[in-house]
Amino acid sequence: MTAISINSLEYTWPGAAAPTLKVPEFKVARGESVFLRGASGSGKSTLLSLMSGILAAPANSVQVLDTDLSELSVRKRDRFRAKHIGIVFQQFNLIPFLCVGANLRLAARFVPQANQDVEARARSLIESLQLHPDLLAQQADRLSVGQQQRVAIARAFINQPEIILADEPTSALDADARDHFVRLLLSIRDTTGCAVVFASHDDSLADFFETRVALADINLIKPRELSHV
Amino acid sequence: MFEVALSSLWSRRGSVMLTLASLTISMAIVIGVEHVRAQAENSFVRTVSGVDLLVGARTSQVNLLLYSVFRIGNATNNIRWQSYENITARQGISWSIPFSLGDSHRGYRVLGTNTDYFEYFRYGDEQPLRLATGAPFENPLQAVLGSEVATALVYSVGDEIVLSHGIGNTSFVNHENLPFTVSGILAPTGTPVDRTIHVTLQGVEAIHLGWQNGVQVAALSPDADDPRLAALQPTQITAILLGLDTPMAVFGLQRAINNYPSEPLTAILPAVALGELWQIIGTLENLLQVISLLVLTASLLGLSTMLLSSLRERRRELALYRAIGAHPSFIVWLIELEGIAMVATASLLGYFVVVLGFSLTQDWLSESYALVVDIWPSSTGIWIYIAGALLASALLTLIPALIAYSRSLGHSLLSS
């Protein structure tokens, strides 16, 4: 059983002269935690966008939970992502003008039936992330960067997804907060058993993960060949 | 989604408030103009009601209406008393009111009539005249005042007034030998009745006794005890209001009067003539309406611009909706909702601005312009305009919404 399976993926941005990605093969097993190392501009974000279905991948190239994303309509891909994939970015993970609780509810809104006991799930996630429950009523942009990133984990897990995609989630954090963040992320992963793909340029975090992959090794396109995206 | 849209607007409250203020002013103008227009048309078209035919000397129908009903300008000619008696003696006539115009009191017109006026005259929705105080006139030297006359000149029942010859405000020729006593004051109607002094036909004749060739001859002028007063018989009147037994007979009678053999007369249907007159003065109102709609259009375009320029600062927010599983149509609806919510709020605020405005100026309007305005706008036109504004905002908001839609389709998880 694979969480993500990539076969002969080649992706060119609309309007770009050369492809950004050419990945012959890349697999993530269910429940596996993968550290995906890559410098900025190496196509990490593009790869994660393709795996999450935000960008449309060519046919038969990206299978997520044994589903070929290219076979889904835009609407179905969006729903699939909402239900099965949680995403954490480097920053701007939360709608700034909504309170933390509303951010979590909004994420649950896009999955039918997920609205039930969303409050209870939000509360338990906030607690397991060592945040105070009062934070739920706080407007997101009043939180510190560290708090925002931890709430982002809660947001990613709120629909109990099978896959977490994290795109440089620790770049905005200092060294202590960074390690703490990764430990919290992985401890929640341990209780839910979902797969994690953690993309970062920061090698010091690699040891936390079961599998370590360098994007340069799986992508045949070399960064210097890329026109900057 | 409401929560998201409203919080999003609140987070940009600076530009949102300015746009909202501009929308509110536009909506207030649109609602206010439409309200005044509807009210003016309503009170105008109902200046007289229940009158089947209005008869005067040969003239145009608008002119006859102006001088007899609105008391603007002068009659070109009069009707002989004999004609009045002949016409009202015809079969099928239910009631008649004679009008004799031509004198004034401190700028207010004097109307000579008889007590049938108080019984049969109707305005608005067939409302009869009502006396606020006192009683109708009983003898030739009594007068009944319209409400505005009494208020403006501070008259009450029992006061004596001296009428002037002609219609100027400062006539040098006053009928001082025959003062009139106020016998009653009418309740306000919002029609020219409020600005009229009503006396008997005999009273009008009496003040002209002893006048020859437009000059008063002192020796011939009567005083209040003159025995000639009782025997006075009017010789001519200005107009006749007729009510018929059956409305079907109107056209036959109108033709008969228009072809009256012994003097040239005109008979008109007041409702038709009022509508025709409104068409003429309604042009200004239409112009105001067009201007108010243009102002609203400008504000709606401003709203669209505001939402469009916000897209740049919202780029990441919109990308995030997509990342957490929102379909691009969510973004379309979100922006649509923001636009419509603003116009709905502006409509509500604009409505209350109008209500507030009219409740503050109501007294002044009725005193200065005899315009009796309802404080609460409720004409169908207003609801149509509000619905139209909401629809227009939905359409104009589609511009930024669809731009956001097409951009969000191409968004990646750009996190830097």
Q: pTM of the predicted model, to two decimals? A: 0.73
Q: Which chain B residue shows the shortest CA-CA distance from A74?
A: B327
Is residue B401 situated within a structural domain?
Answer: yes
Distance in Å, alpha carbon of A170 to nearest chain B alpha carbon: 12
CB pairs under 8 A between A and B: 88
Report yes or no: B79 and B139 within 8 Å, Cβ to Cβ: no
Please check whether residue A222 is in contact with residue A18, taking contact to mean a CB–CB distance below 8 angstroms: no
String of DSSP letters for chain A: -EEEEEEEEEE--TT-SS-SEEEEEEEEETT-EEEEE--TTSSHHHHHHHHHTSSPPPTTTEEETTEEGGGS-HHHHHHHHHHHEEEE-SS--S-TTSBHHHHHHHHHHTSTTTTTTHHHHHHHHHHHTT--GGGGGSBGGGS-HHHHHHHHHHHHHTT--SEEEEESTTTTS-HHHHHHHHHHHHHHHHHHT-EEEEEES-GGGGGGSSEEEEHHHH-SS-GGGSPP-
B148 band by pLDDT with thresholds 50, 70 and 90: confident
How close B333 gets to chain A, by Cα (Å)? 14
Please indicate, yes or no, whether residues B373 and B247 belong to a single structural domain of this protein.
no
Name the β-bridge partners of A23: A9
Shared-domain flag, residues B120 and B243:
yes
Tokens linked to B399: 């511009």
What's residue B212's pLDDT? 56
- Please check whether residue B22 lies inside any domain of the structure: yes
- The pLDDT value recorded for residue A56 is 84
Mean pLDDT score, B249-271: 90
Residue B413 lies in a domain: no
Same domain? For B259 and B378 the reply is no
Q: Which of B319, B353, B354, B343 is nearest to B395 (CA)?
A: B343
Q: What is the pLDDT of residue B369?
A: 66
Tokens found for residue B379: 């004409």
Higher local confidence (pLDDT), B190 or B87? B87
Identify all chain A residues contacting B320, using CB atoms and an 8 Å cutoff: 89, 92-95
Assess whether pLDDT exceeds 60 at residue B412: no
Q: Is B233 inside any structural domain?
A: yes
pLDDT in tens, A131-140: 888 888 888 8
The pLDDT of residue B286 is above 90: no
Per-residue confidence band for B174, with pLDDT thresholds at 50, 70 and 90: low
**B316-335: average pLDDT:** 87
Task: Give SS3 for B179.
Answer: coil
Give the nearest chain B residue to A152 (CA atoms): B324
Q: What pLDDT score does A91 carry?
A: 81
CA B54 to chain centroid, in Å, comes to 21
Q: Is A82 on the interface with B (CB under 8 A)?
A: yes
Domain stop point among B268, B295, B315: B268
8 Å CB contact of A54 and B411: yes
More confident: B188 or B306:
B306
Assess whether B236 and B285 both reside in one domain: no
Q: What chain A residue is nearest to B8 in terms of C-alpha separation?
A: A97
The total domain count for chain B is: 2
Q: Is the pLDDT of residue B55 over 50?
A: yes
A173 vs A90: CA distance, rounded Å: 9
- Classify residue B416: in a domain, yes or no: no
Q: Residue A225: which pLDDT band, with cuts at 50, 70 and 90?
A: low
What would the pLDDT profile of B155-167 be if each residue is shown by its tens digit?
989 888 888 766 5
Q: Which of A158-172, A184-198, B398-412 has the lowest mean pLDDT?
A: B398-412
> What is the per-residue pLDDT for B173?
60
Domain boundary among B242, B268, B294: B268
> Of A6-10, A221-225, B214-218, which gets the smallest average pLDDT?
B214-218
Q: Based on the fold, state whether residues B13 and B115 are members of the same structural domain.
A: no
Of A74, A110, A168, the CB nearest to B324: A110
Query: In terms of CA atoms, which chain A residue is nearest residue B10?
Result: A97
Each residue's pLDDT tens digit, B359-372 = 998 888 766 666 66
Regarding whether B318 and B398 lie in a shared domain, the answer is yes
pLDDT: is B69 or B190 the higher one? B69
Has residue B414 been placed in a domain?
no
What pLDDT band is residue B315 in, cutting at 50, 70 and 90? confident
> What value does the mean pLDDT take over residues B151-156?
88
CB A195, CB A164: distance < 8 Å:
yes
Residue A113 has pLDDT above 80, yes or no: no
Query: Please, which residues 153-212 of chain A have a Cβ atom closer than 8 Å to chain B?
Result: 155, 159, 165, 167-168
A46 touches chain B (CB under 8 A): yes
pLDDT-derived band at B416, boundaries 50, 70, 90? very low
Cross-chain residue pair B327–A95, CB shorter than 8 Å:
no
| Structural domain that includes position B348 | 2-44+278-408
Distance from CA of B320 to the nearest CA of A (A): 7
Q: Are residues B387 and B294 in the same domain?
A: yes
B226 and B339 belong to one structural domain: no
Rounded to a whole number of angstroms, the distance from the CA of B14 to the nearest CA of chain A is: 14
| pLDDT at residue B230, as a whole number | 62
What is the model's pLDDT at position B77?
85
- In this prediction, residue B214 carries a pLDDT of 56
Q: How far apart are CA A21 and CA B116, in angstroms?
A: 99
Band of the pLDDT at B411, cuts 50, 70, 90?
low
Biggest CA–CA distance in chain B, Å, is: 108
Candidate from A14, A52, A90 with C-beta closest to B416: A90
User: Searching chain A, which residue's CA lies closest to the CA of residue B325?
Assistant: A82
Is the pLDDT at A106 greater than 70? The verdict is yes
Q: Is the pLDDT of residue A148 over 70?
A: yes
Ranges A15-24, B337-346, B396-405: which has the least confidence: A15-24
Residue with tokens 């008259």, as numbered in its chain: B155
Q: What is the 3-state secondary structure (H, E, C) of B8-20?
A: HHHHCHHHHHHHH
Q: What's the pLDDT score for residue B210?
A: 61
Question: What's the confidence (pLDDT) of residue B415?
Answer: 39
Query: Across the interface, do B413 and A75 touch by the CB < 8 Å criterion?
Result: no
Most confident of A11-20, A115-124, B332-341: B332-341
Q: Which residue, B237, B268, B299, sits at the end of a domain? A: B268
Would you call B322 and A91 a contact, using CB atoms and an 8 Å cutoff? no
Tell me the average pLDDT across A101-105.
89
Judged on CB neighbours under 10 Å (0-12, 13-18, 19+), B313 is exposed
Closest chain A CA to residue B328: A75
Pair (B124, B39) in one structural domain:
no
pLDDT digits 0-9 by tens, B88-139 = 888 889 999 999 988 888 888 899 998 899 999 988 778 888 898 988 988 8
Query: Are B123 and B28 part of one and the same domain?
Result: no
Mutate to test the interface with B, among A42, A54, A79 (most CBs of B within 10 A): A54
Mean pLDDT score across all residues of chain A: 85
pLDDT of residue A229: 44
Q: What is the pLDDT of residue A214?
A: 86
* Per-residue model confidence (pLDDT) at position B171: 52
Q: Are residues B96 and B219 in the same domain?
A: yes
User: Are residues B63 and B36 part of one domain?
Assistant: no
Asked if the structure places residue B157 within a domain, the reply is yes
In a domain, B234, yes or no: yes
